[in-house]
Amino acid sequence: MPFVPVLRAELIKIRTLRSLIGSLAAVVLVTAAFSALAAAAPDENDPDPLFSAFFGISFGQIAAIAFGTTAVAAEFRGGALRLTLAATPDRPRWFAAKAAAIALPALAVGLLTGAVTLLVGKAVLGADGPTWAEGLRGAVGCGLQLTLMALFAAGLTAVLRSGVATLSILIPFLLIVSFVIGDMSSGIADFLPDRAGQVALHSSWDGPLGPWTGLAVCALWTAAALLAGVWSVSRRDA
C-alpha cells in the first residue's frame, strides 16, 4: 500500500480515539494554565520573563508524551497490530506513517499551545513580559519541543510494547530524575531530551547549548528512539 493511504488511515485512528483527542487538549490547557500561574508569581531570584511565560511546558510535555505513547500502545492491544500489518505488510512504511500521523497533530497543537501560552504570559506579566521577538522564538520552540517529546515517547513505546511501561519510565524521569541530575551535575543535564529542548524557552542560558542546538539535541534523542522503534517493529513478532 502506498504511503499516503497508510498515513490517512493512521490519522483516522487518532481522530477517532477520544483518549488521544483528550491528550492533545490537555497539552494546551495544562501548559497555558501552569504558565499563567508561574507568570503570576515569578521567581525574583532568577528573573527570566520568557521562561516564566512558558513554564507550563514542563507539565504540558507530559500530556504530549501521553499522546505519543497512547497512539502507539493501542496497536499492541487485542491483536490490533496483526490486523494493521495484514493491511500494510511493509513494517517500516507503516511505522513511518504512524510517526507522521503523531507528528502532524502534535505540531499543530504544539504551535497553538505556544501561541496561546505566549499571549497568556504577556497578559499576566505585562511590561515585565518577554519581547515579541523572544516570545515568537519561544512559541515556535514550544511547538517543536512538544512534538519531539511526543515522538520520543512513540519510539520508546514501540520498543517496550507497553504504554504503562513507557509512562512509568518517562513521567518519573521528567518530574524527578531530570531535576536530580541537573542539581548534581555541571552541564550533563543540558543534554537530556527534556532539558535540551527547553533552552529555546529561556531568554539567556549559561550552558553549552543554544536555543536551536538544544532542539537539535532533543531531535537526536527522538531520532534514536524512532529508529529503535522501527527496528523493534520490523524484527519482532506482531
Report residue 222's pLDDT band, with 50, 70 and 90 as the boundaries: very high
pLDDT in tens, 160-184: 999 999 999 999 888 776 666 655 5
| Closest C-alpha to 9, from 63, 67, 88, 77 | 88
Contact status, residue 102 vs residue 157, Cβ threshold 8 Å:
no
- Structurally, the chain folds into a number of domains equal to 1
**List of long-range contacts for 165-169, beta carbons under 8 Å, 24+ apart:** 166/65, 166/69, 166/73, 167/65, 167/66, 167/69
Contact status, residue 102 vs residue 14, Cβ threshold 8 Å:
yes
Q: Which domain holds residue 113?
A: 3-235
pLDDT in tens, 81-103: 888 888 888 999 999 999 999 99
If phi > 0 it is left, if psi is from -120 to 50 it is alpha, else beta; for residue 7 that is alpha
Q: Which three cell numbers stand for residue 165?
A: 511501561
Q: Give, rounded to a whole angstrom, the gap between the first and last alpha carbons of the chain.
A: 19
pLDDT in tens, 8-35: 999 999 999 899 999 999 999 999 999 9
